[in-house]
Structure 1
Amino acid sequence: MSELVTGEAVALELRPARLPSRALAALLDVTVALVAYVVVSFGLLMATASLDEAAQIAVSIATFLLVLVGGPIAVETLSHGRSLGKTACGLRVVRDDGGPIRFRHSLVRGALGVVEILLTAGVVACIASLVSARGRRLGDVFAGTLVVRERVPVARTGFLPPPPPWLAGQFSGLDLSGVPDGLWLAIRQYLGRMSQLDPQVGWAMGERLAGDLAARTGVPMPQGVPPAAYLAAVVQERQVRESRRAFGGAGGVGQSGIAPVHGPAGAPSRGAPVVQESGAVGGVPPAAPEPPGQGRPAAPADRIPPAERPATGFVPPA
């Protein structure tokens, strides 16, 4: 990734195109240009068969300049840096500051491209691209341009597992203002790839991240809670707060923990945050309590024996 600074002091992160993709794009462009040159030359040769030898040589030179030199220059200028080969490879020619190229940039690139690509079979262009830190050939250096990749692969993000239901609302009082963005990103990456890690390595990494998060919040991690479950619950609490701040507390009960509040007449009004009870998952209210004297009273979530807690998927290593 290359960082370019525009005239307005805005930093742009662009990915310069390297030699393999540039060579493939140049090969496609040269092939199309040569085919067009052969077709045009054959047509002009048939049309100028009655002229003398000097006139035919002049027509051949003009055809070479117009098709093999002027053609690529016109295409790059009109398409703002996207020739046929560059379009196929997902590349574009831009200025050093990230802006679109103009005719003068294409003219310099095309003029030097005759020597770099056509007359030397691309040897000079390959050497210059390998030596340059951003993969530029001599035409790019003198024209002040850069070939960048437009189609950048996007990394897939893993699925973030939800926290156990018995941890819902347990961390609503945490102060998350001191947690840096880098730690949040590390936690999300860990939760998304937790299933791909070795159990021992994943458990140790979760403990380290949980310790860092507890140190930033100032509240120690609860005893008996797996590190991955603790991290997932805190991440969900952060998402709940962001949802409340973004939507003003509106919405239904779900992962955001927000439900509509009904007035005296039963009409819904503005949403207000609610705390889900133990056992309420995905906005479904818990079952009605048993009548007095039937069954034992419900115990708080933090006092339920681990054997009776619902399965969460966060299983400690053997």
Structure 2
Amino acid sequence: MSVPIDVSDEVLSGEAVAIDVQPVGFLLRALGAAIDMIVGYAVFILWLFLRIWLLDAGVLDEATDRIATVAALVVSFVVLPITMEVALKGRSLGKLAVGGRIVRVDGGAAGFRHAFIRALLGVLEIYMTFGGLAVLTGAFNARSQRLGDLVAGTYSQRVRTPALPSHVPVLPPALAGWAQIADVARMPDRLARRISQFLVSAPRMLPDARARRPRAADRGDPVRLTGPARSARAGAHGHHGAAQRARATRAGERRPSDREAHGPSDRRLIIRRTAPDSGQ
């Protein structure tokens, strides 16, 4: 019923990392507030029965009765919620029932100041209006916050999450024979190189060519590439040829004494041998 949470409303840690915490839903929040409201009314009703007995016993007169009634209202609707939230670290009977806990908007623990503000405004929006004002406020914000939460800077965080099912890996029966002889050591360098080349060029290949290449590689057949993959491979061969020519040139420059030791015919022989490489 509440609106979705915006990206700007995410809880960020001190390292600017978004923390994956979920607020309690609107219906569960309303159920928890109803339980807390029933508890507050029950405590005040108990005081009314105690007041009748004290008046019959002559313990209370008219002046002390008024003072005791005001004190019972404050204890039932202000002191009791504050005490429970501070003692239970942001929880109450209703929040324990629905699996919620009051925290600050930045994810930190709420303290006495937050509980005091929420309890004071709760008298207006929960007990005096029977929850009507809290319902109207919580229905139109992402975290189902009532007026007291908006002023105190808190919301109800979900702390009870369903247990994840345990996953036990099971080997398929068809792979039982393979598992007995499988070698899980490091892949050969040649195979790893071919796999990495395929992964780089796979996004640029046509679906049919991408499916044929692994099968042809297993048989040892040459694979003809088309389209972007062919141009990419041609560019790779061009870079490889340029690297070979550069290495040959450096090797020739590092051995001047060999060329000086041989005669002109040997120098021409060296030139003829390197000429085919320069034409690639």
User: Normalised by the size of structure 2, how large is the TM-score?
Assistant: 0.57
Alpha carbons of 1:223 and 1:106: their partners in 2 closer, same or farther (altered >3 Å)?
same
Alpha carbons of 1:222 and 1:76: their partners in 2 closer, same or farther (altered >3 Å)?
farther
Q: Does 1:136 align with 2:130?
A: no
Report the secondary structure of 1:146's partner residue: strand
Question: What is the aligned partner in structure 2 of residue 23 from structure 1?
Answer: 30
Among candidates 129, 135, 152, match of residue 120 of structure 1: 129
Q: Write the distance in 2 (CA, Å) between the matches of 1:170 and 1:63.
A: 76
Q: Does 1:88 align with 2:97?
A: yes
Larger helix proportion, structure 1 or 2?
2
Contiguous gaps of at least 5 residues in structure 1: 179-210, 225-318
User: Normalised by the size of structure 1, how large is the TM-score?
Assistant: 0.51
Alpha carbons of 1:145 and 1:162: their partners in 2 closer, same or farther (altered >3 Å)?
same
Alpha carbons of 1:64 and 1:171: their partners in 2 closer, same or farther (altered >3 Å)?
same
Q: Write the distance in 1 (CA, Å) between the matches of 2:164 and 2:42.
A: 39
Shift of 1:157: 6.2
Q: Does 1:165 align with 2:176?
A: yes
Which letter does structure 2 place at the counterpart of 1:96? Answer: V
Question: What is the aligned partner in structure 2 of residue 67 from structure 1?
Answer: 76
Percent of pairs with identical residues = 35
Q: What pairs up with 1:193-232 in 2 under 5 angstroms? A: 220=214
**Alignment size in residue pairs:** 187
Report the secondary structure of 1:14's partner residue: coil
Which letter does structure 2 place at the counterpart of 1:31? Answer: I
Report the secondary structure of 1:98's partner residue: coil
Question: What is the aligned partner in structure 2 of residue 39 from structure 1?
Answer: 46
Q: Which structure carries more relative contact order (alpha carbon 8 Å, separation 6+)?
A: 2
Cα displacement string for residues 170-222 of structure 1 (whole angstroms, at most 9, x for unaligned residues):
775265998xxxxxxxxxxxxxxxxxxxxxxxxxxxxxxxx99xx8xxx8379
Among candidates 2, 7, 13, match of residue 6 of structure 1: 13
Task: Report if the CA contact (8 A) 1:69-1:114 is conserved.
Answer: yes
Report the secondary structure of 1:76's partner residue: helix
Which letter does structure 1 place at the counterpart of 2:32? Answer: A
Report the secondary structure of 2:142's partner residue: coil
Alpha carbons of 1:51 and 1:58: their partners in 2 closer, same or farther (altered >3 Å)?
same
Larger strand proportion, structure 1 or 2?
1
Q: Write the distance in 1 (CA, Å) between the matches of 2:34 and 2:166.
A: 36
Larger radius of gyration: 2
Q: Write the distance in 2 (CA, Å) between the matches of 1:34 and 1:223.
A: 78
